[in-house]
């Protein structure tokens, strides 16, 4: 058999046929054959991270900024366990990832061998699907199926565990188009899917007096065309629209219909509109608890339409009236054509009075903050960052916490795929490696990780990666020396006892940057801020900008846990009533 090649060669050949350009990884004993094959070829680039957790977040950042599938290559045992957080993150936020892990040789599996762990067992609940490949001849079909599953339907992470002997063994390679994946293993909507439901939904929208679109990350996963169609539909309906944290950018911030983000730290007008609407059109969102607040008081008087590709999201926490299972792009395209065909139009009088009401809520100016003095307010820092980068193609990633919410509130996104944040899992340490991945995928763009002083330390080792590959990623630290969101909750719910939320012994971030041969900048007062930001943008190197912000600023507005959309807290002088505060305290 002349055309037999090794398992490791099959891995690389499969990746190449799938159009993979870059792999994020870290070598180790159980993947040496694959790394050896990698060494002998030039078509696939490898980015060496400094901890496997960085590899998978980088792959997520790459995937979300480019729309391609992110690929990760790590070794057995600790290599595999280190990617578990990232796999869970990708699962929660529906990011297409293929993660290859080495495994101890087949005959040693189960013997507690060195660097052995039950990788498929550990990762089963945090992947869409996973494989342990024991037969080299199945390797190529597993790879092609894995890529399809990762991208198909609701995207997600897929893991392939390959014992070392299988990487050495010789077998035959099968091409992508020779692999038939049984239909039950994929999501395939029938050709005239949900036709009646779509008509019902569109009619319901046409009769609405107070409609609102509630847009989620599913619209971004459905591709750029989906965002275009969603904008078009909202425009012809003339309805207000609000977006989830994951959906920011689907409709541009400057769009006249946009009310911005909704939810726990969303806009007052968006949450009030959700509460008072009569028809809610959920497109690609999942009624997450950060969005809904208290369920029994969630949008009590509305008919709800829910478009989702994952049927398990329907009626999971909120019962809906018109569920539509399908891909956003296809469903919204049909909705538009039904709307036009039937010449539907929402009554202008109703629509106007709805907008009048919303504009009244807008007057509250919920993002207003006290910007006096020379000390930099974190909100102001993000505002300046936005103003000084808005004319550049910019990708913004974040870590998790207060800075993440300020970024979501004050940075204005006009396009999808430009905003990368860990929404579902809320992974501190996500933003920096994700920025590395985004920069790898978009070498000419400006990539900024808006970070907190606590989060950035969770994957700071990736500075080496950024420097090694000359990735001019910008780390913009809103430094308040606290785990800000933890401190905020402790202030609001735990009597101001700041248990372990002060980040003592922080490094000097400027010197830290310099020690990696990156550039370190610091802004101590508002006088320095613009100059530091401009210098950061102009520097063709990795930059850490250490922005000293006021220490005890809180992130408002806020729906406290256990409260409803119409019970938003606009400042800390406004106390939640005691009963719901007690109830809310036990929630997350």
Partner 1 sequence: MNKSVYASPDQVSETKRHILTVLVDNEPGVLARVIGMFSGRGYNIDSLNVAEVSNDENISRITIVTHGTSEVVSQIEKQLLRIVPVHSVTNLNREDSSVEAEVALVYIYISENNKKKVYELCDFYRARKIENDNNTTIFEIAGASERVNRFIKEINEITKVEIVRSGPVAISSIHKNEEE
The binder of partner 1 chosen from 30, 132, 205, 420 (CB under 8 A): 132
Among 172, 196, 317, 571, contact with partner 1 (rule: CB under 8 A): 317
List the catalytic residue out of 18, 51, 52, 439. Answer: 52
Q: Is 587 in the site for partner 1 (CB under 8 A)?
A: yes
- Binding region for partner 1 (CB under 8 A) out of 210-218, 289-297, 398-406, 473-481: 289-297
**Closer Cβ to partner 1, 159 or 466, answer by number:** 159
Closest to partner 1 by CB, 150 vs 492, is 150
Q: How far is CA 213 from CA 58, 216, 274, 285, 343, in A?
A: 32, 10, 9, 10, 20
Active-site hit among 4, 115, 350, 583: 115
Answer for which of 36, 165, 278, 310 binds partner 1 (CB under 8 A) is 310
* Residue from 485, 536, 558, 568 carrying the catalytic annotation: 485
Q: CB nearer to partner 1: give 129 or 170.
A: 129
Size of the site for partner 1 (CB under 8 A): 29
310 or 321, CB closer to partner 1? 310
Side by side, which strands form the sheet with 241-243? 258-261, 241-243, 211-215, 279-283, 303-308, 322-325
> At closest approach, how far in Å is the CB of 537 from partner 1?
41
| Pairing status of strand 322-325 against strand 419-420 | unpaired
Question: Among 3, 111, 312, 391, which residue interacts with partner 1 (rule: CB under 8 A)?
Answer: 312
Cβ atoms 165, 8 nearer than 8 A: no
> Is 419 strand, coil or helix?
strand
State yes or no: is 60 an active-site residue. no
Closer of 474 and 565 to partner 1 (Cβ): 565
CB of 86 to partner 1, least distance (A): 18
DSSP 3-state of 481: coil
In the complex, what is the shortest distance from the CB of residue 588 to partner 1, in angstroms, rounded to a whole number?
Answer: 6
- The dihedrals phi and psi of 68, each to the nearest 5 degrees, come to -95, 175
Environment class of 522 (CB within 10 Å of its CB; exposed 0-12, middle 13-18, buried 19+)? middle
Q: Is residue 123 within the footprint of partner 1 (CB under 8 A)?
A: no
Nearest approach in angstroms of CB 329 to partner 1 is: 21
Which of residues 178 and 185 has its CB atom nearest to partner 1 in the complex? 185
In sequence order, which residues have a C-beta less than 8 Å from that of residue 232 and are 6 or more positions away?
Answer: 336
Phi/psi at 156 (5° precision): 180, 180
Q: How far apart are CA 279 and CA 298, in angstroms?
A: 13
Do 53 and 85 meet the contact criterion of CB atoms below 8 Å apart?
yes
Determine whether 64 is exposed, middle or buried from the number of CB atoms within 10 Å of its CB (0-12, 13-18, 19+). buried
Structure tokens at 548: 């000293």
CB 199 within 8 A of CB 162: no
Least distance from partner 1 to the Cβ atom of residue 89, Å: 17
Q: How far apart are CA 564 and CA 293, in angstroms?
A: 5
According to CB under 8 A, which residues from 228 to 267 bind partner 1? none
Q: How far apart are CA 314 and CA 308, in angstroms?
A: 7
Phi and psi at residue 544, in whole multiples of 5°?
-110, 120
> Can residue 577 be called a binding residue for partner 1 (CB under 8 A)?
no
Q: Select from 124, 340, 470, 572 the one that contacts partner 1 (CB under 8 A).
A: 124
- Binding of partner 1 at residue 293 (CB under 8 A)? yes
Query: Which of these segments, 55-63, 204-212, 239-247, 293-301, binds partner 1 (CB under 8 A)?
Result: 293-301
DSSP-derived letter for residue 294 is S
Of the residues 45, 114, 195, 531, only one is catalytic, namely: 114
Which CA distances in Å does 543 have to 42, 51, 71, 421?
Answer: 30, 20, 26, 20
3-state secondary structure 299-361: CCCCEEEEEECCHHHCCCCCCCCEEEECCHHHHHHHHHHHHHHCCCCCCHHHHHHHHHHHHHH
115 catalytically annotated: yes
Is 180 among the residues that bind partner 1 (CB under 8 A)? no
**Catalytic site includes residue 164:** yes
The encoded tokens of residue 442 equal 């978009």
Single residue of 38, 72, 83, 314 touching partner 1 by CB under 8 A = 314
Among 40, 184, 256, 374, binds partner 1 (CB under 8 A): 184
Q: Burial, 391: exposed, middle or buried (Cβ in 10 Å; 0-12, 13-18, 19+)?
A: exposed
Q: How far is the CB of 97 from partner 1 (least distance, A)?
A: 15
Element (H, E) at 512: helix 509-515
Task: Please pick, from the candidates 1, 180, 349, 588, the single residue that binds partner 1 as defined by CB under 8 A.
Answer: 588
Q: Yes or no: say if 214 and 283 are a contact pair by the CB < 8 Å rule.
A: yes
Considering only residues 551 to 570 of the shown chain, the ones binding partner 1 according to CB under 8 A are 562
Binder among 196, 254, 319, 574 for partner 1 (CB under 8 A): 319
Active site residue 52: yes
Binding of residue 128 to partner 1 (CB under 8 A):
yes
| Residue 134 C-beta: closest distance to partner 1, Å | 9
Q: Applying CB under 8 A, does 129 fall inside the site for partner 1?
A: yes
Only one of the segments 18-26, 80-88, 219-227, 286-294 lies at the binding site for partner 1 (rule: CB under 8 A); that segment is 286-294
- How far, in Å, are 149, 256, 268, 517 from residue 557 at the CA level? 39, 22, 7, 40
Closer residue to partner 1 in complex, CB, 551/583? 583
Q: Which residues inside 101-120 make contact with partner 1, applying CB under 8 A? A: 120
Per CB under 8 A, 275 contacts partner 1: no
Point out which residues bind partner 1 (CB under 8 A): 120-121, 124-125, 128-130, 132, 149, 182, 184-185, 289, 292-296, 310-312, 314-317, 319, 562, 587-588
| Residue positions annotated with a catalytic role | 52, 114-115, 164, 485
């Amino acid at each position: 058999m002349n055309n037999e090649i090794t398992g490791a060669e099959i891995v690389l050949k499969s990746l190449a046929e799938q159009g993979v350009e870059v792999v994020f990884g870290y070598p180790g004993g159980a993947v040496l054959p694959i790394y050896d094959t990698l060494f002998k070829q030039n078509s696939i680039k490898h980015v060496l991270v400094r901890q496997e957790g960085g590899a998978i977040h980088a792959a997520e950042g790459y995937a979300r900024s480019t729309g391609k599938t992110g690929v990760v290559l790590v070794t057995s045992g600790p290599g595999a366990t280190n990617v578990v957080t990232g796999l869970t993150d990708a699962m929660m936020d529906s990011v297409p990832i293929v993660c290859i892990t080495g495994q101890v040789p087949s005959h040693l599996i189960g013997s507690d061998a060195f660097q052995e762990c039950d990788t498929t067992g550990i990762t089963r609940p945090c992947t869409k699907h996973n494989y342990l490949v024991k037969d080299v001849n199945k390797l190529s079909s597993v790879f092609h199926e894995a890529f399809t599953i990762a991208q198909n339907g609701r995207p997600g992470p897929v893991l392939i565990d390959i014992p070392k002997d299988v990487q050495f063994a010789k077998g035959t390679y099968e091409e992508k188009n020779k692999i038939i994946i049984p239909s039950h293993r994929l999501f395939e909507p029938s050709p005239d899917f949900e036709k009646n439901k779509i008509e019902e939904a569109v009619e319901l929208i046409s009769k609405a007096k107070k409609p609102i679109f509630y847009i989620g990350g599913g619209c971004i996963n459905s591709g750029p065309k989906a965002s275009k169609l969603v904008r078009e539909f909202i425009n012809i309906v003339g309805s207000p629209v609000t977006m989830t944290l994951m959906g920011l950018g689907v409709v541009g911030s400057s769009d006249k219909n946009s009310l911005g983000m909704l939810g726990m730290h969303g806009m007052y007008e968006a949450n009030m509109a959700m509460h008072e609407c009569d028809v809610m059109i959920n497109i690609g969102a999942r009624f997450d608890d950060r969005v809904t607040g208290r369920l029994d008081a969630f949008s009590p008087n509305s008919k709800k339409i829910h478009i989702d590709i994952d049927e398990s999201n329907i009626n999971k926490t909120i019962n809906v009236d018109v569920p539509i299972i399908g891909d956003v792009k296809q469903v919204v395209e049909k909705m538009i054509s039904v709307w036009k065909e039937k010449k539907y139009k929402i009554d202008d009088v109703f629509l106007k009075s709805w907008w009048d009401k919303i504009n009244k809520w807008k007057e509250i100016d919920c993002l207003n903050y006290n910007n006096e003095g020379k000390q930099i307010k974190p909100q102001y820092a993000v505002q300046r960052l936005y103003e000084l980068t808005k004319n550049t193609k910019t990708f913004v990633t974040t870590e998790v916490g207060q800075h993440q919410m300020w970024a979501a509130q004050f940075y204005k996104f006009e396009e999808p795929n430009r905003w990368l944040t860990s929404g579902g899992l809320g992974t501190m340490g996500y933003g920096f490696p994700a920025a590395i991945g985004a920069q790898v995928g978009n070498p000419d763009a400006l990539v900024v990780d808006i970070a907190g002083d606590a989060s950035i330390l969770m994957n700071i080792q990736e500075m080496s990666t950024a420097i090694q590959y000359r990735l001019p990623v910008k780390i913009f630290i809103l430094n308040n020396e606290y785990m800000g969101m933890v401190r905020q909750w402790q202030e609001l719910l735990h009597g101001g006892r700041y248990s372990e939320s002060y980040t003592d012994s922080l490094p000097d971030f400027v010197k830290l940057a310099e020690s990696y041969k990156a550039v370190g900048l610091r802004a101590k007062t508002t006088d320095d801020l613009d100059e530091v930001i401009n210098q950061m943008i102009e520097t063709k190197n990795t930059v850490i900008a250490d922005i000293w912000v006021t220490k005890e600023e809180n992130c408002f507005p806020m729906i406290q846990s256990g409260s409803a959309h119409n019970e938003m807290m606009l400042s800390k002088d406004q106390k939640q009533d005691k009963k719901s505060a007690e109830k809310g305290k036990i929630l997350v």
